[in-house]
Structure 1
Amino acid sequence: MLEPPPLCERFVLGVDVEKYSDRNVRRQLSIQRALDRLLSQAAEAAGLDRGLWECEPGGDGELAVLPDGVDLIAIVRRFVDQVELLLADHNADHSPEMRMRLRLAMHVDTVARGALGRAGQALITLSRLLGSGPVREALAGAADANLALIVSESVYRKAVLSELGGLRPGQFREVRVDLPAKRFDEMAYIYIPGHEVKPEKSSYIPASPPKPEERSRRPSAAGKSVLNIVSADTIHMPGSVFGFSEHGPNDDC
């Protein structure tokens, strides 16, 4: 009888390029190269080693399983801010046909190593969030935005509610991702750098400073992107053995 593979908790990340299939093959290849370079640069600037990520390319993006012990503030705040910064530069320097707008999704859950790759609820939930209507609509409704981030409730609880590194709950809008055909119904949270959502409206609007009488009720820096944060405050994932150690990947998970 075969022993079951280790089932471990890991942080997973998904990236998808908006309207990628609308481009011709030459432009798709150029966007792939630009995106791969941009993600590596953003990870390095955030203090992360993308070389340790287990990436599953998808043409218009990728799904990645991050190593054990990843700093949640580095990935949820600093990495996202660096992606936004690099996207802004890229889009300013390129024609509309070569500009990139990204959807990002983040989740924490279990995965296991299988004969044909990773298996587990983490990647299933990540894919549901990344392709969901709420994050697509949020990005489409913010014409001047470069990216939209959607995080699962577990990431929101573990990272955003800490309010470390400039993260604030008021920067995120709670949404319901309901996919009856997939038997998927979960709450998630959307953030667009430089934008905030008014509760009574469904679209994103540029963030503006709160009125004096609202300052006591609203989180500071709500809805604003905080770029190039350097903070000693970190939150690390529990030290489950998940295929990576400080020396790199192993075969356990």
Structure 2
Amino acid sequence: MSSPVPAAYAESRPLPPYRALFAVDAKDFTGLPAVQHGPVSRLIPELVDQALDRAGLHELREAKRFLANTGDGVVFGFDPALLPFVLWPFLGVLDDTLGAYNKQSVGPRIRLRASVHVGPLPDADRPGDGNGTARNDTHRLLDSRPVKAILTAASEQVTHLAAIVSQRVYEDVVLSGYTGLHPDRCVEVPATVEGKTFSQRAWLYVPSPSGNLVQAGVRPREESAAPADTSAAREQEPATSGTQYSGNTQHVGEGAAVMGSVGRDVTYSGGSTTNHGTNQHWGGGDNVSGDKRVGGAGAPR
């Protein structure tokens, strides 16, 4: 006999435990030949696990909650106490792991979008665990326009990962100083998803920016994130070196701003756009200034 669906607002009940969430999916997965879908679907969790090991997060690799392979990616829950280490060094190590794989691989390049969120989710080893608003929002962040636009605009030879962090994680983990990821490495964006009634404040982090992202004032990491012992890392002060965002003022109403030369398929859409030198102010869409070449290898994104 199935369990009855509880009525919302009818009575008070215990809040489910807070669970952090991490999700990734692969850029251009659906454009791959069908014969490559299965191998790439299996490869992505393997690369994530390799990066977890290299980042010293062995306990997280073995303690994932409600793990799911989404075909073009993977999503899982975990103890929120590990959020600082997922933001730093894990995201940087994952970027390095993808870069090393892409450099030696003769197959398709694996470039990922990642989202990080936290919220109350049922987790009692029962069917349906992990489902809730926090899970839905994690996937919406992953599909949002800013993180897609940034990964499209960046060099596929250098930038292998673009991450979007929810406002809740940013406030609780980054601004509170619990992680080595400095706030200056993050760029605020409004996360919206085409065709969905979803809009949230969020933060982009690109471990290895490239091309027009560098021209826009996003400087590469001075050194790769090193593997960390999580027990010792909790006692360390947040790092202050690495990627910094400076030089250009960008006020984003929706989507993502990219300045410089864009050589892949990028389309422009939006409302009002005013350009004053290197400062950009716009109300909607993805704003791209500089050399923009549309078409070529694939369909506009």
Counting only pairs closer than 5 Å after superposition, residues 149-164 of structure 1 correspond to structure 2 as 149-163=163-177
**3-state SS of 1:195 partner:** coil
2:68 to 46, 56, 63: 56
Contact 2:89 2:180 in 1 (8 A): no
- 2:130 aligns with 118
Counting only pairs closer than 5 Å after superposition, residues 1-253 of structure 1 correspond to structure 2 as 7-48=16-57, 49-54=60-65, 55-66=67-78, 68=79, 70-95=81-106, 97-113=107-123, 115-143=127-155, 144-163=158-177, 166-179=180-193, 182-195=196-209, 204-205=213-214, 224=221, 226-228=224-226, 230=228, 232-234=232-234
Contact 1:172 1:223 in 2 (8 A): no
Contact 2:117 2:138 in 1 (8 A): yes
**3-state SS of 1:135 partner:** helix
Larger radius of gyration: 2
**Amino acid across the alignment from 1:19:** D
Q: Percent identity?
A: 27
Contact 1:15 1:61 in 2 (8 A): yes
Alignment size in residue pairs: 216
* Cα distance between partner residues in 2 of 1:5 and 1:25: 45
Structure 1 residues 14 and 7, CA, compared in 2 at 3 Å: closer, same or farther?
Answer: same
**Amino acid across the alignment from 1:154:** R
Contact 1:7 1:110 in 2 (8 A): yes
Q: Which has the higher contact order (CA 8 A, sep 6+)?
A: 1
Higher strand share: 1
Once the 2 structures are TM-superposed, how far is the Cα of residue 28 of structure 1 from its aligned partner? 1.9
- Gaps in structure 1 of 5+ consecutive residues: 198-202, 210-221, 236-253
- Gaps in structure 2 of 5+ consecutive residues: 7-12, 236-301
| Aligned Cα root-mean-square deviation (Å) | 2.9
Structure 1 residues 63 and 50, CA, compared in 2 at 3 Å: closer, same or farther?
Answer: same
* Cα distance between partner residues in 2 of 1:15 and 1:136: 12
**3-state SS of 1:122 partner:** helix
Structure 1 residues 170 and 229, CA, compared in 2 at 3 Å: closer, same or farther?
Answer: farther
TM-score (norm 2): 0.64
Cα deviation code 1:215-235 (max 9, x no counterpart):
xxxxxxx65264115373428
